[in-house]
Amino acid sequence: MSAGRSPFSPRAVLALVLGGGLLFVLLLWLIGAGLGNSQANDGQAHGASKGLTGYAALAAYLERRGQPVAFARTPRALQQDDLLILTPPREADGAAIARLVNQRRYMGPTLVVTPKWTALPVPRRSKAFKRGWVEIIEPEPPLWEGFEDGLQVRLAPMRAAGKPARWRGLGLGGELPSSENVLSGQGSGLVPLVVGEQDGRILAGYLNDAGDYPELRALAVGTAPEPVADDEGEIDPDIHPVILVFEPDLLNNYGLADAVNAALGERLVRAALDNHDGHDGVTFDLTFNGFARSSNLLTLAFQPPFLAATLCLLLATLVLGWRAFLRFGPPLADGPALAFGKRALVGNAAALLRRAGRLHLAGQPYADAARERIARALALPHRLDPAATEAAIDRALAARDASATPFSTAAAAMRAARRPAELVGAAQVLHSLERTLKR
């Protein structure tokens, strides 16, 4: 018995449940991944910024040229084997930068770009102004105390005979967008890769240490020194290079307005990856620029090794939902624990006999009960024994219907029956004889 008809079809309910479940899992993943945070395109100097001081153009160019490009927002993402491009801000902790660079010496190459410009967002005066646009103001060198303190960074104009500042290196040459504010570096152990054409100041170079970097040595400006042997007089073939780009206008969006700067950035990346077999990916760091995310329970739930447990939980939820869907519909009204009426009583008794496996014992009492009912109906004396009673019933039956089966024969068949079909057949015969005699 149904309590009522459901207003929704099973398909509609299935679509609602599956759609809601998928949206809930997607919401959890978005919260864990932090995709609801503020936009990374804030106009500052990092790989996701489209302002003048950002490096989004370099990231897009490398990706178009076939380099896998990623953006690191967690400390774990920095511990990978691909080229890591660090673009820390001016006020970053130099000791923290040094720790990260040292940790990666046996993981993969690292390219560090020093900041120069201070950028302020441009107010949106009209629809022509886009998000991330900035206005650059007074340049300043970085304050990275604790990171390569042996190197000196210099901010000064670079002009010769009134010509704009030019650079050369890696087989290329071009102009800098600003000749009045050029950032350069110098110090022992720094091998130049890109220099100023006017005065030879180092705009980009790599650290000469115990690592062997034949590709970078071949691209160095001038004669590159041999690797510096360690305390045991050996060269470490497993160490990876550290490249320093002092002049950010070589690689930022401001400088990549000139196509030759884009080619320079690609050659620097490929040179850093040349001695790093099997890896060609590039990762731009965003953690030093205020977009770091710490691990939380939701983040861990979608990462190995906890991802397996999350998938098992989702599968178990799917199985439970499917089981619930199979029984979907109006709930059945509960009936009474004990049914009422003679028919229910007989049905319960029969079910009990069948469940107990004693159905074959029902023939004898059924035949005896039928005999007693017929004897009362025929007003036979109570003093007669069962055999005499059945003989009297046979005589009365013969008087009514000479072709009918004798009651004693039908009762004997009932008592001898063991299988359900035999019991039912014998009971039907006895019931027919009883109706004949009671007419």
Q: Are residues 177 and 246 in the same domain?
A: yes
Q: Are residues 125 and 205 in the same domain?
A: yes
Rounded to an integer, the average pLDDT of 249-270 is 93
Of 6-10, 278-282, 399-403, minimum mean pLDDT range? 6-10
When pLDDT is cut at 50, 70 and 90, the band that residue 34 belongs to is: low
> d(Cα 377, Cα 381) in Å, to the nearest integer?
11
pLDDT tens profile 288-315: 988 876 666 666 676 777 788 888 988 8
333 lies in a domain?
Answer: no
In this structure, the strands spanning 242-245 and 83-86 are unpaired
What are the Cα distances from residue 205, in Å, to 191, 271, 324? Answer: 5, 12, 66
* Residue carrying the six token digits 């039908």: 410
pLDDT at 267: 94
321 lies in a domain?
Answer: no
Q: Are residues 147 and 236 in the same domain?
A: yes
Return the top range by mean pLDDT from 70-84, 119-133, 248-262, 361-375: 248-262
pLDDT at 153: 93
Q: Are residues 84 and 194 in the same domain?
A: yes
Is residue 143 pLDDT above 50, yes or no? Answer: yes
113 lies in a domain?
Answer: yes
pLDDT tens profile 408-425: 898 898 888 888 888 888
Is the pTM above the cut of 0.75? no
119 lies in a domain?
Answer: yes
pLDDT tens profile 87-103: 999 999 999 999 999 99
Q: Are residues 234 and 349 in the same domain?
A: no
Q: Are 239 and 233 in contact, with CB atoms under 8 Å apart?
A: no
- How far apart, in Å, do the first and last CA atoms of the chain sit? 39
Rounded to an integer, the average pLDDT of 109-128 is 82
> d(Cα 321, Cα 15) in Å, to the nearest integer?
12
22 lies in a domain?
Answer: no
Number of domains in the chain: 2
Q: Whole domain around residue 350: which residue ranges?
A: 342-438
> d(Cα 35, Cα 267) in Å, to the nearest integer?
32
> d(Cα 77, Cα 81) in Å, to the nearest integer?
10
Q: Are residues 278 and 358 in the same domain?
A: no
Q: Are residues 281 and 408 in the same domain?
A: no
When pLDDT is cut at 50, 70 and 90, the band that residue 2 belongs to is: very low
273 lies in a domain?
Answer: yes
Q: Where are the beta strands (DSSP E) in 50-209?
A: 69-72, 83-86, 110-113, 119-121, 134-136, 152-156, 166-169, 172-175, 182-186, 190-196, 202-207
pLDDT at 276: 58
pLDDT at 262: 94
Helix (H), strand (E) at residue 244: strand 242-245
Q: Which of 268, 292, 316 is the last residue of a domain?
A: 292
Q: 4 Cβ partners below 8 Å, 6+ apart?
A: 330
pLDDT at 1: 43
